[in-house]
Chains A and B, each alone.
Chain A
Amino acid sequence: MHPGDQRFEAPERGYDREIAARLTGVAKSLGSTPVLGGFDLDVRAGEVTALLGPNGAGKTTAVSLLTGRLAPDAGTATLFGLDPRGAAARTRLGVMLQAAGLPDVLTVAEMVTLQSGYYRHPRPLAQTLALAGLADLAERRCGALSGGEARRVHYALAICGRPDLLVLDEPTAAMDRVSARALWATVREAADTGAAVLLTSHDLMEADALADRVVVMDAGVVVADATPAALRARAGGSVIRCRTHTAPGAARAMPSVHNASAEGAELSVVASDGAATVRALLLADPDLSALRVADATLEDAIALLLDRADRRITA
Chain B
Amino acid sequence: MTAHALPNGIWRREAVAEVRRSLRLPQFLAPTVLTPAAFYGLFTLAVAKSPSPAFAAATLAGYGVFAAAGPALFGFGAGVAMEREQGLIELKRVSPMPAGAYLAAKLAASLVATGLALVLIYALAVVAGVRLPAATWLALAAWHLASCVPFALIGFGFGMRMSGKGAVAVANALFLGCSVLGGLWIPSAVLPGWMQALGEVVPSYHLGQIARALVGADTIGSRAGHVLAVLAMTVMAGWWARSGWQRSPA
Contact = CB atoms under 8 A, between A and B. Distances in A.
Interface of A: 12-13, 64, 67-70, 80, 82, 87-93, 95, 97, 99-103, 105-106, 110, 114-115, 117-120, 154, 157, 161, 167
Interface residues of chain A: helix, strand, loop or mixed (majority) = loop
Contact of B88 (A13, A91, A101, A120): A101
A120 B5 contact: yes
Contacts of A64: 249
A303 B25 CA distance: 49
B24 A105 contact: yes
28 contacts: A12-B3, A13-B3, A69-B94, A70-B249, A80-B3, A82-B4, A87-B6, A87-B97, A88-B1, A91-B6, A91-B96, A97-B87, A97-B94, A99-B90, A100-B90, A101-B86, A101-B88, A102-B88, A102-B91, A106-B21, A110-B20, A115-B95, A117-B13, A118-B10, A119-B7, A120-B5, A120-B7, A154-B91
A54 to B, nearest CB: 22
B248 to A, nearest CB: 10
Interface in B1-42: 1, 3-7, 9-10, 13-14, 17, 20-21, 24-25
Contacts of A89: 4
A70 B246 CA distance: 9
Contacts of A88: 1, 4-6, 96
Nearest to B84: A101
A87 B98 contact: yes
A120 to B, nearest CB: 5
Nearest to A86: B4
Contacts of B83: 101, 103
Nearest to A99: B87
Contacts of B249: 64, 69-70
A92 B4 contact: yes
A95 B88 CA distance: 13
B242 interface: no
A100 B14 contact: no
A100 B91 contact: yes
A105 B17 CA distance: 10
A114 B7 CA distance: 12
A105 B96 contact: no
Given A90-B94, A91-B96, A118 B6 contact: yes
A157 B10 contact: no
A157 B98 CA distance: 16
A167 B20 CA distance: 29
A12 B2 CA distance: 11
A150 to B, nearest CB: 11
B4 A101 contact: no
Contact of A100 (B13, B24, B25, B87): B87
A114 B6 CA distance: 14
A127 B54 CA distance: 62
B250 interface: yes
A19 to B, nearest CB: 15
A157 B91 CA distance: 9
Given A90-B96, A93-B94, A100 B88 contact: yes
B58 to A, nearest CB: 39
B201 to A, nearest CB: 33
A97 to B, nearest CB: 6
Nearest to A110: B17
Query: Could you say which of B4, B7, B97, B249 has the most chain A C-beta atoms within 10 Å of its C-beta?
Result: B4
B97 A103 contact: no
Nearest to B16: A114
Contacts of A68: 93-94
Contact of A90 (B20, B90, B95, B250): B95
Contacts of B96: 87-88, 90-91, 93, 118-119, 161
A87 B102 CA distance: 12
Given A97-B87, A101-B88, A118 B4 contact: no
A106 B19 CA distance: 11
B91 A101 contact: yes
A67 B13 CA distance: 23
B167 to A, nearest CB: 16
Contacts of A114: 13-14, 17
The 6 closest A-B pairs by CB, nearest first: A101-B86, A100-B87, A88-B4, A105-B24, A101-B87, A95-B94
B229 to A, nearest CB: 34
A21 to B, nearest CB: 13
Contacts of B24: 105-106
Contacts of B94: 67-69, 90, 93, 95, 97, 167
